[in-house]
Structures are given as structure tokens and as C-alpha cells.
Amino acid sequence: MYMVKKFSKIGVCMVFVLSMILPQAAVSKAKTANPYTGKKYVYCSNYKDGIELYGKDGSKKKKYTLIKKEYSMREIYKTKSYIYYYKVNRKDSSTGYVWQVPLNQKSGKLKVKKKKKLFYVNEWREFLYATDKKIVYRINNSIVSYNKKTKQKTSLTGKPVYYSSINVAKDAWERTGITGLDFDESTRKITIGSTNLVYAQKSVILSDNEKISISQIVKQDTVILRGVDSTVYSIVVDVGHGYIKFTGVSAFEGGYASIGKSQLVGVTDNMLVTAATGTYDLELDAGTMSGKKTVTVEKNKETTVDFSEYKLPVDEQGAVNFKVTPSNAVMTIDGEEVDYTEPVMLKFGSHVLTLAANYYEAYTETFTVSSAYSTKVIDMTSKSASTKSSSSSTTAASTNGYKVNVTAPAGAALYVDSVYVGIVPCSFEKKSGTKTITLTQNGYNTISYSISIANSSGDLNYAFPDMTKKG
């Protein structure tokens, strides 16, 4: 209690000193902006985006823009060498980060280019005291001292402190370089190979030091997991993802695109691929047709790669030898029924093939003819037979015949595992497993989510959060 009273007196004195120095109008503004005096200036926080410098005559001298406007600067605190400020998270106003900006002691100006993020805070209330070496602040449940050298937080009131990282325990562990993270939000289960873990309900999940939901982590991300025993308490995205937009790929439809050595996807019209950040050799192959380019993927950004210079020979044909199971399936190509007991002559380019047979699932595929002769093997999937009884029956859970409906954000283009589905609201066929959902719209930042679809009956409905505007 003594410490709190002492700090309160300091604050009162500061306001009194300012009232003696500045004209009333400037003081009034300064009071609402957490003023601190220096040798030459009074430093006031502008809640929207920065720090304002006032001369001791009350005149405004300079404004430093330090943060994006969607964030809010709550408080500042001046020491001999630094200005500390607290920046609120846009989505959760009770959390945020404490930053520091070096101060030129001679000129009184701020060295904004050397600003530095110090630490994360839950349930922030106010700065109480600070020096160049430590910061004392208040949160809901404690008064906390932060040591800049050791980066340790200590409770001065004996109450627990909420940390953004895990306290070191003898059973604590860290796993780095993890890709293809497989998780189930309904059970909070994480699977890594043959290892099963559970992530804590209040686990800290960060990307670029910003809190995110676990659904925003996709298979292409590389993450760091920290936990104790079989429980994960921290997930940090170490290497994030961006997007590759393919255009002019009609000559390769039905073929494959390889992104570096780690990713292989089928080529479809208007495809958008989620890929890990980095520079890759991008190669498209369809029969004898191939194309190669280099692409650099930046985090959360969309990069367009055009292959329109690659064209199939006009009016050239190739023979396709179809081997289909069952052999009595009815085949149509581009809407016309064909006899595939002998090789079928088709023009170079993409074609739509369908197969239908009793007791088998309908089959549809887009493929490309790009060589004089090729063989195509198709094994249709048989329908599972079901027996019904008036007394009792058991039916295996199945996704067959059901849909996944996406209702929001309206107007966004929806991609599932890089394949274009349509404009939201729209639906796609329900298939069990982990799917990467990608949403893109002009003027908005492209974003991906991971969803886990169980092998169960019934439609699923998803409404994803509103997209954020660019800039």
C-alpha cells in the first residue's frame, strides 16, 4: 500500500508542475494525454497513433507517428533515456505490448526508428514507476516489476502474475520446426506424428507477436510448441505463409504444380495456393508440357504468377488409352458419351471426363491432353452397401452426400485446398480431414483458416470473421 500511495503522489505533483508551466488550454489537453516533462519538451500521448511534443510555452512542436491507427496508445512514461508507451491490441483492449523509444537527451527528440517492443501484458492498468533499467506497472491482480536486462517479471504484491510465456519447469519442453500441424478445435487435440497432445484452453498463440486463433495456423506454417508434460501452453508461428495466384494455366490443367521440394498440387483453373514464405522454383507439368518460374512468397501477401506464354499446339491431337474399373462404366468427355475400348483421339488441351456405374460413386475429373499418346488409369470408388432392419441397425458414419456451407464473409472468393469453389455464400462437398480454407477479396487482406471435418453425417455451416481492409 505504501508503494501505491507514493506513486499516486508523484502523479499529482506532475500535473501540478505542468499547470504552472503550460497555458491552461495546453494543460487541459496534456492532462488527458498523460504528459511528461523533459528538459525542452512536454511529451503527450496521442491515443490514436503517436506522441506529441509541446514546448514549455504550450506550443505544439512535433508529432511522432509510432503505431498503426487501428491500435491505440494508452499511456506513456518518460525516463532519462527512454519514452515507454503501452499499445493496446485491436481485438482485445485488455491486452497489449509495452514499447520503448530512445530519447536524445540533448535535443529532446525521439529516435523513432530504434523503437523496440519489450513485453506482453494481460489486464493492463497503468505505469506506476520506471527507470532506464526497469518498469513498474499495475495489472488487475498485481503490481509488477519488469527487469529489462533479465526480462523477468516479479510480482511486488505477492499475487500471481500472468505471463505471455511459460515459466520454466522441470517437465517443460520446446519443439521447433514443426510443420503440418494437425489439430481438432472441438477436443483441443494436437497430433504430431504418433504423438498426441492437448493445448490449454488459455494457451498463448502468437504470430509476429500478435495474438491469433489456432484456426489461423495452416499446414504450411512452421511453428514452435512449448508445454509441460502432454499439455501445450504456447504456440508461436515461426515461419508463416502467403499465397500464389496462378493465371494462364489452361495448358497445364489436369497436371501438377510443384512448389520447391515440399509441395505438390493439382493444376486447376483460377487456383490460389497457400504456401510457406520463401523463394521457390515453381514448375508446372502436364504430359510433355512443362513450365518453370521462380516465385517469392511473402507473409500474408498474394503473388501472381502468369503462365499464359505456354500454349498447346493448335488442332493437334493425342490418343488416350483409358483403363477403367469397373470396365462397364459409362464415360462422357466434354458432355459426349465415348467408347473407350480403344484409345480415344482428343484435341490437345483440357477436357472434362465423367464416369457412371451401378454401385459406384459418380466420378468427375478435368484432365489435359498434351502428348501424342498417353494412358489414364481410373479406379472408381464402390458405394458401401447398407442393410436396414425394422428392429435395429447400425450405419457407419459417412460424409457422403453432405455439404459444407460457408455463409460469411459475403462476397469473398472461397478456395478449399487451393481449388476455387465460388463466391461466399457457397458450398462444397463434405469430405473428412483437415482442409485449408482461403478467402480473398479485392481491397481486403487474403486470409486462410484450417478446419477439421469429422467423418460424420449432416451438413456443416461456417461463418468466418470479417476480412480486414488493406492499408
Phi-psi region of 172 (alpha: psi -120 to 50; beta: other; left: phi over 0): beta
Q: Are 126 and 136 in contact (CB under 8 A)?
A: no
Nearest to 356 by CA among 329, 395, 378, 379: 329
Number of H helices, E strands in the chain: 2, 40
Q: pLDDT band at 388, cuts 50/70/90?
A: very low
Phi-psi region of 417 (alpha: psi -120 to 50; beta: other; left: phi over 0): left
The domain segmentation of the chain, as residue ranges, is 2-155, 172-239, 241-306, 317-379, 403-463
Give Cβ neighbours of residue 378 (< 8 Å, ≥ 6 apart).
322, 323, 324, 325, 355, 363, 365
What percent of the chain lies above the pLDDT cut of 90?
A: 29
Output the pLDDT for position 71.
Answer: 66
In tens, the pLDDT along 280-321 reads 999 998 877 889 999 999 999 999 999 999 887 777 888 999
Residue 199 carries which side chain, given as an amino acid letter? Answer: Y
In tens, the pLDDT along 212-250 reads 999 999 999 999 998 888 889 889 999 999 999 999 988
> Per DSSP, what are the bridge partners of residue 86?
75, 98
Burial label, 23 (beta-carbon count in 10 A; 0-12, 13-18, 19+)? exposed
> Does residue 72 carry a pLDDT above 80?
no
Give Cβ neighbours of residue 347 (< 8 Å, ≥ 6 apart).
315, 316, 317, 369
Lowest mean pLDDT among 26-40, 134-148, 199-213, 376-390: 26-40
The residue that leads in pLDDT, 65 or 3, is 65
**Cα atoms in the Cβ-side hemisphere of radius 13 Å centred on 196:** 4
Q: Give CATH for domain 172-239.
A: 2.40.50.320
241-306 against 403-463: fold identical: yes
Q: Are 70 and 88 in contact (CB under 8 A)?
A: no
In tens, the pLDDT along 325-340 reads 899 999 999 999 999 9
Q: How far apart are CA 137 and CA 156, in angstroms?
A: 10
Q: Write down the pTM of the prediction.
A: 0.52
In this structure, the number of other CB atoms found within 10 A of the CB of residue 430 comes to 22
Output the pLDDT for position 16.
Answer: 31
Give Cβ neighbours of residue 424 (< 8 Å, ≥ 6 apart).
406, 407, 408, 409, 410, 411, 412, 413, 414, 439
The pLDDT of 61-79, averaged and rounded, is 77
Residue 331 carries which side chain, given as an amino acid letter? Answer: M
Q: Does domain 403-463 have CATH number 2.60.40.1120?
A: yes
> Does residue 386 carry a pLDDT above 60?
no
Instruction: Strand 403-408: give its sheet, edge to edge.
Output: 426-429, 403-408, 460-463
Output the pLDDT for position 368.
Answer: 82
Output the pLDDT for position 407.
Answer: 93
Q: Give CATH for domain 2-155.
A: 2.40.128
Q: What is the architecture of the domain spanning 241-306?
A: Sandwich (2.60)
Residues recorded for the chain: 471
> Does residue 267 carry a pLDDT above 90?
no
> What is the residue whose three cell numbers read 484432365?
367
Q: Does domain 317-379 have CATH number 3.90.1300.10?
A: no
The residue that leads in pLDDT, 33 or 198, is 198
